[in-house]
Structure formats: structure tokens, C-alpha cells
Structure 1
Amino acid sequence: MSFLFPIESQLVKNPLKGQLLKWIGNKQKYANTIISYFPKK
């Protein structure tokens, strides 16, 4: 199956992945606080 707009579909995928990694990276300094809200088991 081929896409009608392969370039546009690639442009959409990469920034979303990059933004997700950036969002996760920003949470690293709060990791201990975030984990403290999880159940012990």
C-alpha cells in the first residue's frame, strides 16, 4: 500500500516522536516525586 503524501506523513511522525521524548526527558527531574505516588506493589 502506498501513501498519497509520503513526505507529509513522515513529517508528522518524526516531530511527534521527538516531542514525546522531550516531554519524557523533562520529567526526569521529577521522577522520584512521580514514583512516590505509585503503589509499593
Structure 2
Amino acid sequence: QPASDEKEVVERLYKVVAFKGDNSWYLWLCNSRLLMNMLLLH
């Protein structure tokens, strides 16, 4: 299962969020994780 790949993608996005330093990006990421997981499954 591509669990490690998913973790890498999430960590990469987290770095972007930390770089942006904007809470709206963090909230967007949290709301989009489910969609992102579904995209990775397909």
C-alpha cells in the first residue's frame, strides 16, 4: 500500500503550510486530506 508515499506528500504539504505561515492554508489542508487520500487511492 502507498502509505509511505502518502506520508511523504502530506509532509511536503506541511512544509508548504509552515512556509506560508497562514492558518487558512492549514485549515485547507485539513479539509482536503480526505479528498487527497481518495485521489491517491485512484
TM-score range, shorter chain: 0.3 to 0.5
> If you compute each CA radius of gyration, which structure gives the higher value, 1 or 2?
1
> TM-score w.r.t. structure 1 length?
0.45
Q: Which has the higher helix share?
A: 2
Relative contact order, higher structure (CA 8 A, sep 6+): 2
